[in-house]
Structure 1
Amino acid sequence: MTADRTGPGPAPEPGVRKPGALLVLDGVRRCFGGIAAVHVEHLEVQRGTITALIGPNGAGKTTLFNLVSGFDRPDGGRWTFAGRRLDGRSPHRIARSGLVRTFQLTRTLARLTVLENLLLAAPAQRGERLSAALFAPVWRGQERAHRARADELLVRFRLDRLRDEYAGTLSGGQRKLLELARALMARPQMLLLDEPMAGVNPALAQSLLGHITQLRDEGLTVCFVEHDMDVVMGVSDWVAVMAGGRLVAEGPPATIGRNPDVVDAYLGRRHDEPEADGADPRRRKGR
């Protein structure tokens, strides 16, 4: 499974501007105890692509997702989504704008059924307002539409046979599928997926990858955090690399593996350069 990366595109350099950028970050900073966990000067995510966000542990990837999705507050900077500023907004308002995320540790509601988990994520439910709840004709049509959408997603992700089971009984991989289906109930323009393959068996991982590429082909924009380089190289249209909270490289998958800044980020030093003192390179620290 390989994304189509042929043809001209943006220059492979950090902070490059891209045609049709959907999400644009400027000067986004977050510090913990005086240490800059995130300091991204400029980053753009192009509409209709799969962008992988990679980097060593502690690079700031999940923190950046937390900031953009409203689950954490930045110390500075701004970002826009589809031309609208989202910094300072709450998570539910950001989700309503069309930017929806999933988490590395799934957050299903264990004591609700699979179907109920999906229905809970449906946007703008009229029956939630007391004035409308008293008049069934106001919300019954919408409820039928939400149920039809939920059933469609359950079939798509092969969870339909589990629709009436409690979410707490699902396997880890099934919960990943449920969380992705629940995110799609909000009809987002863009998905932020935090390590969607973590803890998933190989067969189910391939299924997830197929769903992600299909969503891209249907026009959805996807940005995901991932450590498995085979996954990154197999499905991504673009790769952004973080290290020490900063964006150190960007480019198509084919060029990222050869980028010396990426090698530095993962290995800690230029592993292909000889030692200045002539020492045996096989004895370098960390080798």
Structure 2
Amino acid sequence: MPADDIAPEPGVAKPDALLVADGVRRTFGGLTAVDVEHLEIQRGTITALIGPNGAGKSTLFNVLSGFDRADAGSWTFDGAPLAGKAAHRVARHGMVRTFQLTKTLGKLSVVDNLKLAATAQRGERLLPSLLPPLWRRQEREIEARADELLERFKLAHMRDEFAGTLSGGQRKLLEMARALMVRPTMVMLDEPMAGVNPALTQSLLGHITALRDEGMTVCFVEHDMDVVMGISDWVVCLAEGRVVAEGPPDVVGADPAVIDAYLGSEHGEPGVEDDDE
């Protein structure tokens, strides 16, 4: 949980920051998608990233996780500089992310989707692959880890089915489980509840809070404010690529800058008639 004495203001320093970003900027032609002066994500917390469509939330995720390149800026993760590093190297440092649109390998089994995500597999290198004793034990350990995660996310009954046969919600669970195969320090979830039925939403919420309770850091993008207010320890609001507010959920929800940039337009401001009525 964030310390009580952290000021609810953009760019505020955290006592145990895991991710620290400075001057991160990403433009597309004449459009500035991300312009974050300073942002810190505290270790061991659930941080929600909110904002209107086009605010730069997913672009910021892409840049920090190595799936896109920033035009300017620097950031560190657990003290290690990550700016300019490829996504697979970022993951090896312990920061992994999921996507709003799930990216399963539909022609592979569910368990193989998980096994493929494990890092530093000896059998992937040419010479060791020719000597099974060098990689068989590790392969058994990877499979055991995959089965453990399938049980945790209630996908064990689909273990040997093609991943392409999973429902949208099950794919969300699979992608979260796949992210955990690398035993990350921080998980970044891009709209994990999008397109998920209410029953499965509760399951996903339980998994996210469990990760935090186990000491993992979680940062997620979400539009459902009930979800944000229900599980977040800290909320960061972006508008036009900039951090306009951050703080505990109740404080951010009442911030005039947030209401003006996001909540007012999304949820209807008092005194403004709905065009559909």
Which of 84, 88, 93 is the equivalent residue of 2:84? 88
Q: What is the number of residues matched between the two proteins?
A: 273
How far apart, in 1, do the equivalents of 2:180 and 2:118 lie?
9
User: CA shift at 1:112, angstroms?
Assistant: 0.2
Q: What letter is aligned with 1:92?
A: H
1:1-287 map, 5 Å: 8-266=4-262, 267=264, 282=272
CA–CA distance in structure 1, aligned partners of residues 107 and 31 of structure 2: 39
AA partner of residue 102 (structure 2)? T
Q: Which runs of 5+ in 1 are unaligned?
A: 273-280
Provide runs of 4+ in structure 1 moved above 6 Å: none
- The alpha-carbon distance between structure 1 residues 196 and 284, as it changes in their structure 2 partners (threshold 3 A), is closer
2:22 alignment partner AA: D
Q: 1:191 to 1:282 in 2, by over 3 A?
A: closer
Q: Shift of the alpha carbon at 1:282?
A: 4.4
Distance in structure 2 (CA, Å) of the matches to 1:156 and 1:150? 10
- Taking structure 1 as the reference length, the TM-score comes to 0.92
> Quick one: structure 1 residues 141 and 36, their matched pair in 2 at CA, closer, same or farther if it must change by over 3 Å?
same
**Secondary structure of the residue that 1:177 maps to in structure 2?**
helix
Tell me, what secondary structure is at the counterpart of 1:151? Answer: helix
Post-superposition shift, 1:9?
3.9
Distance 1:176 1:283, change over 3 A: closer
Deviations 1:187-227 (A, max 9, x none): 10000100000000000000000000000000110000000
Rg larger in structure:
1
- Note the alpha carbon deviations across 1:169-197, whole angstroms, 9 max, x for none: 00000000000000000110000100000
Ranges in structure 2 where 5+ consecutive residues have no aligned partner = none
Measured against aligned partners, the alpha-carbon deviations of 1:251-286 in whole angstroms (never above 9, x if no partner) come to: 001111110110111236xx67xxxxxxxx64799x
**Could you tell me how far 1:90 is from its partner in structure 2?**
0.5
Q: CA RMSD in A?
A: 1.8
Cα drift, residue 94 of structure 1: 0.6
- Percentage of identical aligned residues: 69
Report the CA distance shift for 1:283/1:216 in structure 2 as closer, same or farther (over 3 A): closer
